[in-house]
Amino acid sequence: MENLTLAIKGMTCMGCVASVTRVLKATAGVKDAQVTLQPAQAQVQYDGAQTNPAQLKAAVEDAGFEASEPA
Ligand code: 9UX
């Protein structure tokens, strides 16, 4: 299992947090996701054979938020 932290911009309420959590958990290969407003980030546990950081970032962006991997 892999672990990824994405910094997320554009979340302003707990509804946004729920939306990001939902799209991540709906992505094939995602085992679990913890999304927080403070700090504005998502921690994702996923199967590296089924998905990857670029796909997870794209899923969040398709939902209308900006995501980036911490440097
Ligand atoms: Mo509440 Mo967050 O409408 O977009 S879900 S601000």
Q: Which of 9, 11, 16 to mutate to test the pocket of ligand 1 (most atoms within 8 A of CB)?
A: 16
Tell me which residue has its CA closest to atom 2 in ligand 1: 16
**Residue 41 CA, ligand 1 centroid: distance in Å:** 16
Nearest 5°: CA angle at 58, between 57 and 61?
A: 90
SS3 36: strand
Residue in 29, 23, 10, 12 with CA at minimum distance from that of residue 57: 23
Give me the pLDDT at residue 67, please.
Answer: 98
Residue boundaries of the structural domains of the chain: 2-68
Mean pLDDT of the chain: 97
CATH class of 2-68: alpha beta
pLDDT by residue (tens digit) across 45-60? Answer: 999 999 999 999 999 9
Give me the pLDDT at residue 65, please.
Answer: 98
Mean pLDDT (whole number) for 15-28? 98
Helix (H) or strand (E) holding 67, with range, is: strand 66-68
Q: Is the CB of 12 within 6 Å of ligand 1?
A: yes
